[in-house]
Amino acid sequence: MPTTQQFFHRLLLLFVALGGLAMVFPKTHINPELLGYLGLGLEAMLVTPQLLQNYRRQSCAGVGLELLVTWIGGDLLKFIYFVAKSQPAPFIVCNVFQLCLDAVLVGQLWVYGR
C-alpha cells in the first residue's frame, strides 16, 4: 500500500504526463475529452489519502463529522443533479464511485471510532 507521499508523487507524475500529452497533441478533439475524464477520475479519488491514513493508523482521529456530512451531502447532490440532467455516464459512474468511498469512510468511523 503506497504512503501518502508516494500517492502525491504518482499524482504529480500523472499531471506531468497529461501536460506532456496536451503539448504533443494540442489540436486533437480527443485530448480535451481525455483530460476531462481523467479529471473526473482524479476527483473521484479525493478521499483516498484519508482512507489510507485511517487504515494505517487504525483510527479516524482528525476526521470531523462536519467534513463527512458535507462531503457526503455534496456527493449526493451531485448524483441527483447528474441523473436529473442526464449527464454523460462517466459523470454518474465517478460519482457512484465517490459515494462508495464515502461509505468506506463511514465504515472506518464506525469501526475505528474518532
CATH number at residue 54: 1.20.1280.290
Q: Does the pLDDT of residue 113 top 90, yes or no? A: no
Q: Does the pLDDT of residue 102 top 90, yes or no? A: yes
111 contacts 57 by C-beta, under 8 angstroms: no
Q: What pLDDT is stored for residue 60 in this prediction?
A: 92
Q: What is the pTM of this model?
A: 0.73
Cα dihedral 35, 41, 42, 48 in deg (nearest 10): -170
8 vs 78: CA distance, rounded Å? 26
Mean pLDDT, residues 106-114 taken together = 90
Question: In the chain, how many domains are there?
Answer: 1
94 vs 29: CA distance, rounded Å? 22
112 vs 69: CA distance, rounded Å? 18
Q: Does the pLDDT of residue 17 top 90, yes or no? A: no
Q: How confident is the model at residue 77 (pLDDT cuts 50, 70, 90)?
A: very high
34 vs 23: CA distance, rounded Å? 13
109 contacts 68 by C-beta, under 8 angstroms: yes
| Grid-cell match 475529452, residue found | 33
Q: What pLDDT is stored for residue 1 in this prediction?
A: 62
54-73 pLDDT, tens digit each:
999 999 998 888 888 998 99
Q: What's the domain range around 49?
A: 4-112
